Amino acid sequence: MAERSPTSHSLTPYGLSAPAFIVCAVFLAAPLIMVLALSFNTFTMATGIQPGFRLDNYIEVLTDDYFHLIFARTFGMALLIALIAALIGTPEAYILHRMAPAWRSAFLLVILGPLLVSVLVRTLGWAVLLGRNGIVNSALVALGLADRPVEFMYTMTGVIVALVHVLVPFHVLAVWASLRRLDPAVEAAGLSLGASQFTVLRRIVVPQIMPGILSGSLIVFTLAASAFATPSIIGGRRLKVVAVTAYDEFLNSQNWPLGAAIVTVLLVATVVIVLAYNRAVERRYAQVFQ
């Protein structure tokens, strides 16, 4: 019987996680630190990027109404998208949950479809659909629902429609995961005690999958807040969101430090929102769900 030395044994977990740690350090931590460092540099058209440690960029982002508007628009839009995705995705997940297994796999593929298509292809597809002469407008006019084409392109509506489409699957998956943990007999129990199908849903099913609904919304919210391709193509430059603004600072204005500051503020704001939300949810459901 080989005796295992306690030292080598206790080092094994570190050894096993080292590759993942190195990947994270090189490809995630290092770029983030570099962006953070960059955000404290300064920039002028004449001199370019000047190294240093100054808070000028942050002061600009935090005091300028232009940026206030962009941040408010981004988070407002993300909130609305999370809400709409929850309203569509939760019933969708429940229906999926109640389907016969064969149908369920087929529909799961349909629901996950948007995620399997490249973001650019999908967004351009939406642009084709939503354009002035696009299919949606042609149909609306033909059906007499609108007398002239509705503006979707370069509007908030268009951005929200396209983002909800791609983000709903994340909500469905989160809710579905919590539905699968649900004891199927609790619905039968509710019925047998005299509750209608609707009451069973409202009083018994929804409260139990609430953690799934809330975490799904959180995923959708953070993805919507940091979305770039869809807002930039469908929203254009009139409806800038934070990610598009940062992109423009980097590539159009060449003001990398300001772009880095914008990104950093977005990251910090999102992390703060996520942590606060998680704490609130955990506190609310602490006794019931461990």
Q: How many residues sit close enough to another protein to count as binding (CB under 8 A)?
A: 22
Told to check if 208 binds another protein by CB under 8 A, we report yes
CB of 195 to another protein, least distance (A): 5
| Binding-residue pattern over the window 180 to 199 for another protein, x denoting contact by CB under 8 A | ---x-xx-xxxxxxxxxx-x
48, 51, 76, 207: which one binds another protein (CB under 8 A)? 207
Angstrom distance (rounded) from CA 51 to CA 49: 7
Angstrom distance (rounded) from CA 113 to CA 166: 9
CB of 94 to another protein, least distance (A): 17
Helix (H/G/I), strand (E/B), else coil: 52: coil
Told to check if 287 binds another protein by CB under 8 A, we report yes
Burial 58-86 (b: 16+ CB within 10 A, else e): beebeeeeebeebbebbbebbbbbbebbb
| Nearer of residues 174 and 239 to another protein, judged by Cβ | 174
Tokens 């996520």 correspond to what residue?
Answer: 274
Told to check if 290 binds another protein by CB under 8 A, we report yes
Tokens 């704001």 correspond to what residue?
Answer: 269
| Nearer of residues 197 and 254 to another protein, judged by Cβ | 197
The window from 6-14, 140-148, 167-175, 281-289 that contacts another protein (CB under 8 A) reads: 281-289
CB of 202 to another protein, least distance (A): 12
Residue type, 59: I
CB of 173 to another protein, least distance (A): 22
> Which sign does the torsion angle of CA 50, 66, 266, 61 carry?
positive
CB of 192 to another protein, least distance (A): 5
Told to check if 289 binds another protein by CB under 8 A, we report yes
Helices (H), 99-155: 101-116, 119-130, 135-142
CB of 103 to another protein, least distance (A): 16
Told to check if 21 binds another protein by CB under 8 A, we report no
| Nearer of residues 153 and 214 to another protein, judged by Cβ | 214
Residue 14 CB partners (closer than 8 Å, separation 6+): none
CB of 281 to another protein, least distance (A): 14
3-state SS, 142-205, equals HCCCCCCCCCCCCCHHHHHHHHHHHHHHHHHHHHHHHHHCCCHHHHHHHHHCCCCHHHHHHHHH
Please report, as residue ranges, which positions from 100 to 159 form the binding site for another protein (by CB under 8 A): none
Q: Give counts: helices (H), strands (E), the chain.
A: 14, 2
Residues that bind another protein (CB under 8 A): 183, 185-186, 188-197, 199, 203-204, 207-208, 287-290
